[in-house]
Amino acid sequence: MATDTVRGARKVGRYALLVVVAAVVLFPIYAVVLQALKSGPDAFDHPRSLLPVDLTFDTIRSAWTDGNLGHLLLNSLFVSGMVTIGVIITSLLAAYAFAFLEFPGRQALFAIFLATMLVPVEVTVVINQRTANWLGWDNSYQGLIVPSLATTFGVFLVRQVFLQLPKELREAAALDGVGHMRFLYEVAAPLSRPTLGALGLFTFLGTWNAYLWPSQIITDNDHQTIQLGLNKLKTPNDISKFNLLTGGLVVAALPIFIMLVVFQRQLVRGLTAGAVKG
Amino acid sequence: MAYGAHVAQVRLESVTKRFGEGDDQVTAVDAVSLDIHDHEFMILLGPSGCGKSTLLRMVAGLEDPTSGDVYIGEEWVNNTQPKLRDIAMVFQSYALYPHKTVRANIEFPLKVRGVGKAERAAEAQRAADVLGLTDYMRRKPGQLSGGQRQRVALARAIVRNPAVFLMDEPLSNLDAKLRGDTRAELVDLHRRFDSTFIYVTHDQVEAMTMGSRVAVLNAGRLEQVGTPQDVYDFPASAFVAQFIGTPPMNLLPPGVLGTDDVQVGIRPEHLLLTPGGRLQATVTQIEHLGHEVLLHAESAAGRLVARLAPSAALPAMGDSVQLDADAQHMHHFDATTGVRVS
């Protein structure tokens, strides 16, 4: 009986802690969404501004028009989509080579490859910017897309999954006359689908939210991504329109939010795949 | 297309396979020469690590011999890709494609070869009929039992109509009952398909019941090749004598019932309770197996096992007994090399 009480109290404590943590995480999101749904003056009427009353879509509508968000969203969608497809393809190809092909120096090459993960992006951004500039890729989609088409993380992740595939599958396929490319697209890739889904989702999110690289290479309006474009919604001289930015943030976050909800299972499965041998 | 439209012999000449380099080098297969005839069911038998699977994989082309020659038919195939060797292999783990249905698994080798859809479907259906898989064609391997998966692996092999079937311990993941049933089915399959079978196992019962001939390997070396009965009746070495037969042959220390340079071996069924027999022993265990009784006894020559009829007059535990065997049933092996002397 006493143990039951202790267990019950522990459970209540645990849940209370979870509620607090959830509140800490969710409150800023709640505040931003609420700000976006208030008219300018209402957004500063504290503490009433934190209550879900007097809601309006006017701010979001203004942000959409003033920031030309439709165009920015399309740009981000295109760039993120292309990078995602590219990363999946390059990760599959490179991971396949590291997992299935025998060649001299394979282990050493992979170690060097992995070591590049230790180099922070800030270190390479200047030289990358110069290279893109030399290629004439400033203010272009290829400038936004090509430097992100291959990632060490992607290759590493897919290689780990490939290494878990039974070697007999490759041998059986070899006996059947299946070449490397066919084995990759007909056997190895389909069997790695959960991981590829998670990789795709991560890549899409990362590209969608990228700010540093796009800010280095894009200066015109045509190629701006949503994250860069939100800058235009800042109104340093008119505090009453501050919540235009929150309206833009909500619009920018919405596609990502929908994706996360839709692919949540895929994401979890991809990250836990292979954790348990089965 | 009839199954088994072609036959092939497989010839291995002084085939050696070494793994690793320098001090870490291991010789998995040591100068093995073996002729496997057309339409033969050849068993490669030996304990774990004896090199039998490596030998099979060299026939398949999945491993390159360090030295020696492999022939399939009249063709020297050392440098021939696996897909061009006209072979099919069934793996211990079955190696089915888990994301494909049974039908797609069976059809896959034909699809790769560019066989048309209709012909592919017909061939797959035929193979499925042979192996009783018709009701499972839409399922995926994960939805099948071990025995069914094993059949799918067989179907995927026979659909290609290869000259040589290679099987690497295909029954070892099945339970005892299913293993017994499948043994009989494989023998039947071999009878129906005019192909050469090379079958790797460490299970002597499989070797004895299925093989046309058995090649016994030990530590990478070929100890003996012969029909199962020959190998049982006339083991070429002390190793073969002990490896084949359950319980294994009683191997007496040098000098007992023979000269000092010879070891005598006696099969349990030939070790008889004989008043005045030359081997004095004390009964330590009596196993009643229904159709036979195994009598275990401890003697100066070590532990002995005798196979007796259930109707025989049995001694009690702890009794002293005398055992002996007819001279014609004694096997003699060189005490140093283990090679059969007579």
Kindly state the tokens that stand for A233: 């919604």
Quote the pLDDT of residue B21: 86
Q: What is the CATH number of domain A73-233?
A: 1.10.3720.10
Rounded (10°) angle between helices A243-272 and A2-36: 140
Under an 8 A CB cutoff, do A172 and B95 touch?
Answer: yes
Structural domain boundaries in chain B: 10-239, 259-334
| 3-class DSSP assignment, residue B159 | coil
Quote the pLDDT of residue B8: 80
CA–CA separation, A247 vs A69, rounded Å? 10
- Model confidence at B66, pLDDT cuts 50, 70, 90, reads very high
Same fold, B10-239 and B259-334: no
Fold of the CATH domain B259-334: OB fold (Dihydrolipoamide Acetyltransferase, E2P) (2.40.50)
Q: Which of A166, A169, A178 sits opposite B112 (nearest CB)?
A: A178
Tell me the pLDDT tens digit for each residue of B177-218: 888 888 888 898 888 887 899 999 999 889 999 999 999 999
Interface of B with A (CB under 8 A): 60-62, 81-83, 87-89, 91-93, 95, 97-99, 108-109, 112-113, 160
- Spans of chain A, pLDDT less than 70: 1-2, 43, 240, 270-278
Label residue B39 exposed, middle or buried (CB < 10 Å: 0-12, 13-18, 19+). Answer: middle
Quote the pLDDT of residue A63: 86
Tell me the pLDDT tens digit for each residue of B129-140: 888 899 999 999
Kindly state the tokens that stand for A148: 């992100």
**Which residue type occupies A165?**
L
Tell me the pLDDT tens digit for each residue of B72-121: 988 899 999 999 998 999 998 899 999 999 999 999 999 999 999 999 99
Quote the pLDDT of residue A272: 62
Quote the pLDDT of residue A1: 58
- Model confidence at B143, pLDDT cuts 50, 70, 90, reads very high
Quote the pLDDT of residue B2: 44
Cβ-based contacts under 8 A for chains A and B:
46
- Averaged pLDDT, B262-272: 94
Quote the pLDDT of residue A273: 52
Residues of B in contact with A191 (CB under 8 A): 98-99
CA–CA separation, B39 vs A82, rounded Å? 56
Quote the pLDDT of residue A274: 44
Quote the pLDDT of residue A58: 87
Strand ranges, E, within chain A: none
The helix (H) or strand (E) run that includes residue B267 is none
Quote the pLDDT of residue A271: 63
Instruction: Quote the ipTM score.
Output: 0.82
- Model confidence at B271, pLDDT cuts 50, 70, 90, reads very high
Residues of A in contact with B87 (CB under 8 A): 175
Structural domain boundaries in chain A: 2-58, 73-233
Of B301, B232, B292, B216, which is closest to residue B267 (Cα–Cα)? B232
For residue B27, the cross-strand partners are: B18
Distances (CA, A) of B42 to B11, B196, B210: 12, 8, 9
Q: Checking DSSP bridges between strand B87-90 and strand B164-168, what pairing results, if any?
A: parallel
Quote the pLDDT of residue A277: 34
Average pLDDT of the residues of chain B: 91
| Residue in chain A lying closest to B113 (CA) | A177
CA–CA separation, A38 vs A61, rounded Å? 12
Under an 8 A CB cutoff, do B83 and A171 touch?
Answer: no
- Model confidence at B339, pLDDT cuts 50, 70, 90, reads very high
| 3-class DSSP assignment, residue B75 | strand
Quote the pLDDT of residue B6: 64
Of B206, B236, B209, which is closest to residue B221 (Cα–Cα)? B236
Within 8 A by CB and 6+ apart from B223, the residues are B46, B216, B217, B236, B237, B239, B240
Q: Which of A176, A182, A191 sits opposite B109 (nearest CB)?
A: A176
CA–CA separation, A252 vs A80, rounded Å? 13
Superfamily for the B10-239 domain? P-loop containing nucleotide triphosphate hydrolases (3.40.50.300)
